[in-house]
Amino acid sequence: MSSAETGIKLYLNTILKNKSGIVGVAMIILFIALSIYGMAAYKNVASEWNNANYWRTYPKVAMPAWMIYFSPNKIFSTKTFVSQPKTLYSSSSYEIVQVDYKFKWNKGSAPSDVVFYVDTSSPIETINIVWKKPDGAQVTLSQSSPSEATDLLSYTSSLDSYISSQIGYVPPRVVASTLSKALFGYEGKGLLNGTVEKGTYEAKITLVVPPHTKVVANKLYLEGNAYGIFGTDIYGRPLGIGILLGLPNALEIGFLTSIISVIGGVIIGGISGYLGGKTDSAINWVTLVMLSLPILPFLVVMSYVMRPTLLMEALFISFLVWSFYAIIARSSAQSIRKEVYVEADKVLGIPSYRTFFTHFMPRLTPFAIAYTALGVPAGIILVETLAFLGLAPPGLITWGAILNGAEQNFAAVNGWWWWILFPGLMIILVSIPFVIIGFSVERGIFGGR
Amino acid sequence: MGYKTYLAKQVIIYVTVLIAAMSILYVFTYPVIQTVLRKTIQDEALHFKQAILKHASGHGTLNMTKINLEVHRYEAQLISSYGLNRPVYAKYFIQMYNLMTFHFGNAYYLTAPSGSRKVSAIIAAYLPYTIILFTTGTLIVIFAGTIIGLLSARYAGTFWDKLVPTIAVIHSSLPTWWLGFLFIAALAYGIHAFPPGGITSVPPPKNPLMYSASMLYHMALPLLAFTIVNVGGFAYIIRSLVISTTKEDFVVTAKARGLSDSRILYRHILKTASPAISTQVALAIAGSFAGGLTTEIVFNWHGLGWLTYVAILSNDLPVILGITFVLTVILLLALFIDELVKGYLDPRLKVGE
């Protein structure tokens, strides 16, 4: 082996020579670009991710928007309406303001929720909504603690009594979409059976506010059941943004764990195989100790006890997995030790550390590259698994945590497939280029087919 | 070195490795273990006090000072038996002794189906289900993986040869728990072909034949997910081992002797590669117990992994620590048995070279 054969150039060539290697490199570049874009474009969103209030006007568990093409009558995106507020009465102690919305509804199903948004310059005292259906039937909604955005769930008591006056009882598990059905269905026993009155609806919102209050903005949201490319979760958070913001975290922890553990493992294993004898036995014993610790339960215990940050988590994982790389590096160092040029160095009296750096390290580099590439997805999967168990580093957006949310909210039972499918697909998509590169370098070294 | 010397050396190595691994676990969880033990002692003292009160009220003599004194004496006795009043090194030895003798203490909240609160009883109740599921799964993976790996090593450039790298990529990039989650959504709740989870149907069938049939039906989806994810990795290992052995001189010699390809593969290559393959098998089985944690959670399979998760959710640390110890012992046992097999298969050791 000449030095040209062991240089970094060779491995780059091995990677770039075959088609899958190029695809892998291109995918990694794309992922890094996407991470940078996500961090720059959604910097503020990341800090609001766990703030349910921030997402209140978004449709809850909406499927991906492209599903609209398959069933435009049943699947639709959110519609919003703006109206001109009118002051009905004003005195020195209070004012009455009315916001009146008129809209046509001709979809085959009711919106998933209705959100009334009124931003006023001073706090609203009372809010009262009269909802008029196309056939003239009226529903009055009122609630005691008004805020600037109220969805149907905040009018549950009004709507529950309306529902029970029509069908005689209140269904056991009332969600926003049930309440919305009540507002859009025909009155009578079949109020909640899903048939929708088509035609012009009217919503009259009457506000009592302190004098000289201005209505800054107002909006009526008829929440759709489709949003964005990947849909939303139960809090209305768009999964597309969650997936995008999870990408830099996944890559960071993948790179960190992989680089730390592979470098540590290759150096320790390389020295062990190179020196041989008693040192080798001792290091091998330590490796065996580390190998015998069950990684996942141990990590679960550690994460549970310490709640580590991302960097600590990466160090924990590296601490537990370096032994795998040490074993492989040791066996290849052992085979290098038998080579003639190592013997020659010994005879010439060249110091052993120099032999190590000139003959062993260059030949161990391919292992290091191959296993660094393979270690990235391994690290990503471990961290996503921990996050799926609810043990993610606190404050981080991870796909595992999104999937954990899906499991906790029974996404499989409710058929919210987009919530399960896309975050998991991302774990696979991010892993694939690293695995491909790792395998192609490995094949290059071992000369496999 | 004869086989007996080899054996003795391995026993020493593995026992020391177990102690060292547990020491690492101990160092990391030392503060937690202390609180766990204090809680256990308080619990036991409380039980003791209640028992005395019950006994005393039956006799009509209720001397509180005497009872409290008795409880204190019992507590002090427990503290010294758990070694809480000893210096750190003594605590360490006591803890090691307790772990090695499977004395994990009492669980905070969890109980075994029999009602016992002993951590060892709880683990013993759940461990068999993990063994059933993952031993079956690993056997399927080994069987299918070996066949695919051998086919791909033998027929270069064919479908089998191209299949292995592809399924190996799947193995390294697909989390089993996610595949299981997806299967549950699609195959269990979507088309209702399989049960979404659990070990048997509820209530469990009385007839043992029906019971095992129900269990197999519930095992189908977890096994499918486990096999899809893991078969590629095993096939890839077999393929690499066989290909690297093919380059050895004795294979060239065998070819020169005019032996048939299948004879060379089965009688020469496989025989030589078998110690390495047996290592992989041992690691695969033992590793699957620990790695199946999430699979069990997703499929609601009440084995050790599921138990770990429940213990985490209910902050039951003695159970978590006990499980970690048991899993380490299982992994070391597998590695140890593998050493024995390797030693047995290695002709150099038999002749005492």
Interface contact A301, partner B, CB < 8 A: yes
- Retrieve residue A410's tokens: 């029974």
Task: Tell me if the bond preceding B203 is cis, omega within 30° of 0.
Answer: yes
B256 and B322 assigned to the same domain: yes
B257 and B312 belong to one structural domain: yes
For residue B230, the domain's CATH number is: 1.10.3720.10
Q: Which residue of chain B comes nearest to A298, CA vs CA?
A: B324
Spell out where A112-214 has E strands. Answer: 113-120, 126-132, 138-143, 149-151, 199-209
Nearby residues of B56 by Cβ (< 8 Å), 6 or more positions away: B62, B63, B67
β-partners of residue A151 are A115
Residue B271: inside a domain? yes
Pick from A48-52, A226-230, A325-329, B87-91: least confident: B87-91
Q: Are residues B130 and B85 in the same domain?
A: no
Stronger pLDDT, B32 or A431, i.e. the higher one: A431
| pLDDT mean over B264-277 | 80
Contact residues on chain A for B324, CB-CB shorter than 8 A: 294, 297-298, 301
Output A41 or A357, whichever has higher pLDDT. Answer: A41
Give me the pLDDT at residue B162, please.
80
Q: Please check whether residue B270 lies inside any domain of the structure.
A: yes
At B58, is the pLDDT very low, low, confident or very high (cuts 50, 70, 90)? low
State the smallest CA–CA distance between residue B153 and chain A in angstroms: 9
- Stretch B153-169: mean pLDDT: 81
The answer to the question of residue B296 being in a domain is: yes
Q: Is the pLDDT of residue B352 over 60?
A: no
Closest chain A residue by Cα to residue B152: A449
One domain, residues B197 and B298: yes
Q: Is B166 exposed, middle or buried (0-12, 13-18, 19+ CB in 10 A)?
A: exposed
Residue A6 pLDDT > 70, yes or no? Answer: no
Q: Do A439 and B168 touch (CB under 8 A)?
A: yes
Structure confidence by residue, pLDDT tens digits, A134-162: 988 888 888 777 777 888 888 888 888 88
> Is residue B109 in a domain?
no
Q: How confident is the model at residue A3 (pLDDT cuts 50, 70, 90)?
A: very low
A302 interfaces chain B, CB cutoff of 8 Å: yes
Kindly state whether residue B111 falls inside one of the protein's structural domains: no
Q: Which residue of A has its CA nearest to B195?
A: A413
Q: Per-residue pLDDT averaged across A49-56, rounded?
A: 84
The predicted model gives B115-139 an average pLDDT of 90
Residue of chain B whose Cα is closest to the Cα of A429:
B173
Answer yes or no: is pLDDT of A31 > 60. Answer: yes
The per-residue pLDDT for A449 is: 44
Q: What average pLDDT does the structure give for chain B?
A: 83
pTM for this prediction:
0.83
Cα separations in angstroms, B261 against A376, B161, B297? 39, 17, 46
Distance of CA A186 to the CA centre of its chain: 40
Secondary structure (3-state) at A208: strand
Q: What is the Cα–Cα distance from A157 to B299, expressed in whole angstroms?
A: 38
Residue A103 has pLDDT above 50, yes or no: yes
Average pLDDT score over residue span A362-372:
81
Kindly list the residues from chain B whose CB atom is less than 8 angstroms away from the CB atom of residue A285: 13, 16-17, 20
| pLDDT interval class at B59 (50, 70, 90) | low
Angle, alpha carbons B57-B63-B67 (nearest 5°): 90
Kindly provide the ipTM of the predicted complex, given to two decimals: 0.83
Asked if residue B164 and residue B279 are part of one domain, the reply reads yes
Q: For residues A384 and A402, give the distance between their C-alpha atoms in angstroms, rounded to a whole number.
A: 10
Give the bridge partners for A209, in sequence order.
A95
- The token pair that represents A46 in the structure block: 């990341």
Counting Cβ atoms within 10 Å, is residue A432 exposed (0-12), middle (13-18) or buried (19+)?
Answer: buried
Statement: residue A187 has pLDDT above 90 = no
What is the nearest CA distance from B321 to chain A, expressed in angstroms?
8
A407 Cβ under 8 Å from any chain B Cβ: yes
* CA-wise closest residue to A422 among A243, A247, A248, A254: A243
Residue B139 lies in a domain: yes
Query: Rounded to an integer, what distance in angstroms lies between the CA atom of residue B261 and that of residue B249?
Result: 15
Weakest-pLDDT range from A58-72, A284-298, A410-424, B81-95: B81-95
Which helix (H) or strand (E) is A89 found in, with range?
A: strand A86-90
- Residues B123, B197 within the same domain: yes
Residue B224: pLDDT above 90?
yes
pLDDT score of A423: 94
Q: Which of B172, B229, B246 is the best substitution to test chain A (most A C-beta atoms within 10 A)?
A: B172
* Residue A156: both structure tokens together: 């549950």
Under 8 Å between Cβ of B117 and B111: yes
- Which of A301, A410, A426 has the highest number of chain B CBs within 10 A, making it the mutation to test binding with B? A301
Q: What's the confidence (pLDDT) of residue A8?
A: 64
Domain C-terminal end among B100, B135, B150: B100
Q: For residue A120, what pLDDT band results from cuts at 50, 70 and 90?
A: confident
Given B100, B129, B158, the domain boundary residue is B100
Q: Is residue B141 domain-resident?
A: yes
| Of the residues B66, B100, B134, the one at which a domain ends | B100
Q: Examine the pLDDT at B287 and tell me if it is beyond 90.
A: no
Angle at A347 between CA A346 and CA A351, to 5 degrees: 40
Helix, strand, coil percentages (3-state) for chain B, rounded to 5, are 80, 0, 20
- Say yes or no: B46 and B165 in one domain: no
Q: Which two tokens stand for residue B181?
A: 């989650």
Look at chain B and report how many structural domains it folds into. Answer: 2
- Residue B183 pLDDT level (bands cut at 50, 70, 90): very high
Tell me the pLDDT tens digit for each residue of B290-304: 778 888 989 999 998
Q: Compute the mean pLDDT over every residue in chain A, rounded to the nearest whole number.
A: 85
What is the nearest CA distance from B185 to chain A, expressed in angstroms? Answer: 4
With a CB cutoff of 8 Å and minimum separation 6, the contacts of B229 are B170, B171, B174, B175, B176, B179
B127 and B233 part of one domain: yes
The token pair at A23 is: 């695809």
B136 in a structural domain: yes
Q: What is the side-by-side order of every strand in the sheet holding A113-120?
A: A79-81, A215-223, A113-120, A149-151
Do B95 and B168 fall within a single domain? no
| Same domain (yes/no): B129, B273 | yes
Q: Are A152 and A131 in contact (CB under 8 A)?
A: no
Residue A124 and residue A148 in contact, taking contact as beta carbons nearer than 8 Å: yes
The contacts of residue B253 (CB under 8 Å, 6+ apart) are none
- Give Cα B16 to chain centroid, integer Å: 20
pLDDT in tens, B321-337: 788 888 888 888 888 88
Burial B210-221 (b: 16+ CB within 10 A, else e): eeeebbeebbeb
DSSP structure string for B226-293: HHHHHHHHHHHHHHHHHHHHHTSHHHHHHHHTT--HHHIIIIIIHHHHHHHHHHHHHHHHHHHHHHTH
A296 touches chain B (CB under 8 A): yes
Q: Are residues B72 and B123 in the same domain?
A: no
Q: Containing domain of residue B25, as a range?
A: 3-100
User: Where do the DSSP E strands lie in A253-395?
Assistant: none
Q: Which of A4-13, B173-182, B213-222, B279-288 has the least mean pLDDT?
A: A4-13
Contact A412 B335 (CB under 8 A): no
Domains and CATH numbers, chain A: 3-49+238-446 (1.10.3720.10), 76-223 (2.60.120)
Please indicate, yes or no, whether residues B28 and B165 belong to a single structural domain of this protein.
Answer: no
